[in-house]
Structure 1
Amino acid sequence: MGRNIHDIYDVILKIIILVYGEGFLRFIGINKNIKEVLKTEFVTLKGIKFYLDFLCLLDDGTLCHVEFQFPKARPNDLDRFFDYNIVTQVTHGALTETIVINFTSKKFSEKIRIIGRSKCFNPDYVYLGDIDYAGYWRNINIKVESNLKLTVFEEIVVLLTCLIPECKKKAHMLDKISKLLKNKELFDKTRFEYVQAIIQMEIENLISKEEQSKITEVVDMTPQAEKLISQAISEVHRKSVHEARIDGMKEGKEEIAKNLKDLMDDEEISRISGLSLERVKQL
C-alpha cells in the first residue's frame, strides 16, 4: 500500500477502460462505438501541459473525455475539465463531451460551472457507488455455481466492487474474487490476464499486509499485463505530479493576492497575480 491511493484508483480504472473499451462506456450509459483511442497528453501554444484520464473518438464524430475522481469531483475540478474540453476540441476539430466518474455515491448535487458571462459547463456525472452491486453479485454467484460465462458488465462489477468506499469488507471480497479466478472459463479469455492483474493490484494496494497474507489463492500477472499496468502507472503519476504543481502555484498566487488586498485595488491585483478579476474579488 505504498503508492498514493488516489493514483491507484485512477490506474485501475484507466486499465479497466482500456481493456473493456466500449463495454465500459456502455456500462456507464454511453451506447456508442469507439473509433479511435486518442493520446491524453496535450501542450498548448503557451507551453501549458494537460493530462487527461481518457479520450477517444466515437463513431458519431464526437470526442468522449472521461475523468476519474476519487472519491468524488470537487467544484474547482470543473475549471480544469472545461480547459481540457477547449484544448481537445481545437486539436481534433470535434465536439468534446465530458464524463466525470466519481467512485462514491451521489451525495451532493451535480455542479454546473458558469464561466464568464456566456459559457456554461455541465459534464455528465457517473457515481460508481450507486450501482446495484448486490444484484450483480446474485447473478454472478448463480453463474459460478452453474459454470456459466460472465457477461461484460458482470466482469466489470467484479473489478469495481472493492474500489467503492461503500465496500467495507474489501479483504473478504478480494479473497472471494481470487478464488473465483481459479475458473478461467467464467471470463472472456482475451481479458482474463488483465482481470487477474487488476485484482492483484487491488490485493496489494487496498488491504493491509496482514489481510493479504490470508488471501488463499495466488493471483498471477503476465508480462503483457504488467506492461499495461506499468504504462498506466507512469501516465497517472505524470498527471498527478503536474496537477499537484499547478495546485501549488494556484495556492501561491491566491496567498499573494490576499496579502495585496489592503494595498491596491482588485484590478491591479489581478494583473500582478495572474488571477481572474472575479477570483480576486472572491478572496
Structure 2
Amino acid sequence: MELKDDVDILREVARKNIKGFSQLIGMGSEVKGLYSKQFQDDVIYLLDDGTLLNIEFQTSVPEKSTMNMIKYYSAALQYNTNKTVKSLIVYSGMDLSREHIDNLMQSTDFFPKWFLFKQHDADKILSNIYNKIENNIGINSLDCCNLSLILLFGSNRRHFDVISDAFDIVFGINSISFEQKENITNIQYMFADKFLSKNEREKIGIKHGKAKATRKIAKNLLDGGYSIEEISKVTGLSIDEINNL
C-alpha cells in the first residue's frame, strides 16, 4: 500500500473499514456505505436518511480560509447531488482542543461537527481489546480500526510503548486472518514513521518482519501437507492462528 501522507492513510482506512470507522466517529448506526465512485478522491458516507456526510481530514489547525473551502465544497456537493450534506472534520493533530474549536467557530459562520483523535485514550482502548482476547470475545471492525490508528489517540506513555503493545496485540488475535493483521500493522507502521525515532522504527520493523516470516513458514508447511499440530510445534503459532492463515 503506497500512501503519500496522513490524510491518504486516514482516507484509506475510512474507505476500507467503513463499519469500524463510522463507529469510531460516532455515526455507526447511521452510515449505509460510501457514496458514489464519482467522488473517489473524497470520503463521503451515505446515511440512512439519504443525507451525505462529507468527511474532511485535517492534520494541522485549520485557518479561516480552509474552513470556508470546506463550507463551499459542501454547498457545491449539496447542489450537485440534490441531497442534504453534513460536514465532519476529523482532526489527527495534537495541538487542537475544544476551546480552540470554539474560537475557530467564532471566526466563521460554518458549524461542522468535529472528531478529535487525541481525546480518545489509547491505553484504555488497548486494555479493552486485550481483555476481549483474554475472554475469547471476538474482535470487531471498530477494534481493528482502533488498532490501526492507535498512535493518533491520546496517551501518557511513549509512542514506542503504545505501538509495541498494539503490534503484539494484533498478532495475538486468533479471530482475524493473517491478511487482516498485515493490513492493520502496515497502517501502524506508516504512522510509526511519523511518531517514532529511526531506532524505534527499526525495532518495530524487525518485530514486524519476524512475525511475517513465521507465518510465511507456517503457510508453506501447511501447503506442504504438514499437520497443524506439527506446524504449531515448529513455529510456536497457535492452532487458531494457523487455521486463519
* 1:200-279 alignment, distance < 5 Å: 200-215=189-204, 216-218=206-208
- Quick check: which one's helix share is greater? 2
One-letter amino acid of the structure 2 residue matched with residue 25 of structure 1: S
Helix, strand or coil for the counterpart of 2:63? coil
Shift of 1:84: 0.7
Q: Distance in 1 between matches of 2:170 and 2:34?
A: 31
Higher relative contact order (CA 8 A, sep 6+): 1
* 1:73-84 alignment, distance < 5 Å: 73-84=62-73
Gaps of 5+ in 1: 42-50, 221-283
Choose from 35, 48, 72 the match for 1:37.
35
Shift of 1:209: 2.0
Choose from 44, 54, 60 the match for 2:49.
60
Q: Distance in 1 between matches of 2:10 and 2:172?
A: 24
Shift of 1:138: 2.1
1:164-211 residue CA offsets vs partner (Å, 9 max, x unmatched): 475651222222222223234244778444213212322344322211
TM-score between the two structures when normalised by the length of structure 1: 0.61
Q: Distance in 2 between matches of 1:143 and 1:172?
A: 20
User: 1:88 and 1:19, CA in 2 relative to 1: closer, same or farther beyond 3 A?
Assistant: same
Helix, strand or coil for the counterpart of 1:60? coil
The size of the alignment, in residue pairs, is 202
Partners of 2:51 and 2:85 within 8 A in 1: yes
One-letter amino acid of the structure 2 residue matched with residue 217 of structure 1: K
Q: Distance in 1 between matches of 2:187 and 2:106?
A: 34
Residue of structure 2 in register with 1:19 after alignment: 16
User: 1:91 and 1:191, CA in 2 relative to 1: closer, same or farther beyond 3 A?
Assistant: farther
Helix, strand or coil for the counterpart of 1:76? helix
Gaps of 5+ in 2: 213-245
Helix, strand or coil for the counterpart of 1:185? coil
Partners of 1:99 and 1:123 within 8 A in 2: yes
Residue of structure 1 in register with 2:101 after alignment: 109
Residue of structure 2 in register with 1:126 after alignment: 115
Helix, strand or coil for the counterpart of 1:150? coil
Q: Distance in 2 between matches of 1:20 and 1:10?
A: 15
Choose from 166, 172, 196 the match for 1:183.
172
1:82-114 residue CA offsets vs partner (Å, 9 max, x unmatched): 111122112211111000111234341334377
Q: Distance in 2 between matches of 1:40 and 1:166?
A: 38
> Which protein shows a greater Rg?
1
Choose from 2, 6, 11 the match for 1:9.
6
TM-score between the two structures when normalised by the length of structure 2: 0.69
